[in-house]
Structure 1
Amino acid sequence: MQQSDLQTCTAFSSSHKIASGGIKDVALKVKEHLENHPQAAILIFDNQTSQQVEVDFRGTIDAVLKRLEKSGLLKEEEPAKGGPGRPKLGVTSKEVTLLPQHWDWLAKQPGGASVTLRRLVDEAKKKNAAKDLIRQAQDATYKFMTVMAGDLPDYEEALRALFAKDAEKFKKLIAKWPKDVRTHIQMLANPAL
């Protein structure tokens, strides 16, 4: 079986980008970097959300990769199964709390409550897709900027420009920031500006 990455990420040592890509490739490059710079402080960020990704770099690269796999950041790809029966749709059962009039309305809908709720969620996702993309980009940029640029000049003004969707002002305010940090911020902020 082959391993695949569940996410893409970018690793930084101070304000310098070490690697970007799948978590396995990034881990390999960071491990190599740490062998040459054992005191380096490494931060790894998810490229979608800017959540920090924790990787334990102790030991050999094989040990690091095994821990990555155990953590769920890497997964074993299973061959596609074909055959008789219904395909697994990944349906998850959870509880929903509604008022009685909502349950009454759902019960009268064709297909029942579950089908109607799925349809309503899908419609809301389509309707709000552009707004959601902007909000997610702003959130990811904010998280990354707070960690990597929080002590840089014009940080607060740059955040205001980001949330005001003032691309020109935003780019001007971050222009003097370290190149790798600035480039990553621009990549994250692009959908929001």
Structure 2
Amino acid sequence: MKGIDSAVTSPNERQCTVFESFGVLARGTETEVREIVRKTMAQRETSPTRAFYDDDGEEFDPTSPDPAKIIGGNSPPEPEPIRKAGRPKLGVVAREVTLLPRHWEWLESQPGGASVALRKLVEMARRDSGPADRVRRSLEATYRFLSAMCGNAAGFEEICRALFRKDWEDFDAKLNHYMTIELANHIKTLSRKARPEYQE
């Protein structure tokens, strides 16, 4: 795997992993891995590379042009917005919401009106469904990566069945049996937030 210790990592960029065949070629931010892939391809002939975001398992093309994220790019910074007098904005975004009349009636009767009541309801729902949403997203990310990277590999269906049963002992055993060490470790990392021992 190529080293990236000397690169500057932006906390706002998503972390990614690039595979060459079934081994890890690079890990880092999207900017970093694009640069590593570019330099590697310039130095030698490479096997087909495949790049994935670490948070959701989505695949992207590390060789496609991406001027906004090239290291040392000369994109001008966005100008600071002009501050106007008056009440500061709260960062809210206006969208259309369709509800039944009785729902609107109840919302408008709440302290602060419909918008405040809706925001409170959403925050409560996010808090209450947080653990279940975390597990679902982790399972989806793991399956997404497995399907893209290993969909034709031996053991794929057995691994997926163990994943959705949340039989982690069987899941890990099958990964260790069918996959390379680097690939198995990456898949285990993708699934970590669905496991009962995971702590925020």
Settle same-fold status: TM greater than 0.5: yes
Give the unaligned 5+ runs of structure 1.
58-63
SS of residue paired to 1:89 = coil
Deviates more, 1:145-154 or 1:93-102: 145-154
- Which amino acid in the other structure matches residue 20 of structure 1? R
Give the unaligned 5+ runs of structure 2.
1-7, 196-200
- Whole-angstrom CA distance in 1 between matches of 2:94 and 2:38: 40
Structure 2 residue aligned with 1:61: none
* Larger RCO, structures 1/2 (Cα 8 Å, 6+ apart): 1
- Whole-angstrom CA distance in 2 between matches of 1:75 and 1:184: 36
SS of residue paired to 1:9 = strand
- Whole-angstrom CA distance in 1 between matches of 2:141 and 2:9: 27
Choose the corresponding residue for 1:181, options 167, 172, 183. 183
- Whole-angstrom CA distance in 2 between matches of 1:156 and 1:162: 10
Choose the corresponding residue for 1:52, options 55, 59, 71. 59
- Deviation of residue 66 (structure 1)? 2.2
- Which amino acid in the other structure matches residue 181 of structure 2? K
- Whole-angstrom CA distance in 2 between matches of 1:123 and 1:102: 17
- Deviation of residue 169 (structure 1)? 0.3
Does the 8 A contact of 2:50 with 2:62 survive in 1?
Answer: no
- Deviation of residue 172 (structure 1)? 0.7
Structure 1 residue aligned with 2:95: 94
Structure 2 residue aligned with 1:6: 13
TM-score, normalising length: structure 1 = 0.82
Does the 8 A contact of 1:55 with 1:68 survive in 2?
Answer: no
Does the 8 A contact of 1:162 with 1:192 survive in 2?
Answer: no
SS of residue paired to 1:109 = coil
- Which amino acid in the other structure matches residue 50 of structure 2? L
Does the 8 A contact of 1:3 with 1:77 survive in 2?
Answer: no
- Whole-angstrom CA distance in 1 between matches of 2:90 and 2:154: 49
Structure 2 residue aligned with 1:22: 29
Structure 1 residue aligned with 2:198: none
**1:5-154 counterparts in 2 under 5 A?**
5-57=12-64, 66-68=67-69, 86-154=87-155
Q: Using a 3 Å threshold, how does the CA distance of structure 1 residues 51 and 76 change in structure 2: closer, same or farther?
A: farther
- Deviation of residue 77 (structure 1)? 8.5
CA RMSD of aligned residues (A): 2.9
Q: What's the % identity of the aligned pairs?
A: 34
Q: Using a 3 Å threshold, how does the CA distance of structure 1 residues 86 and 22 change in structure 2: closer, same or farther?
A: farther
- Whole-angstrom CA distance in 1 between matches of 2:193 and 2:155: 21
SS of residue paired to 1:6 = coil
Structure 2 residue aligned with 1:190: 192
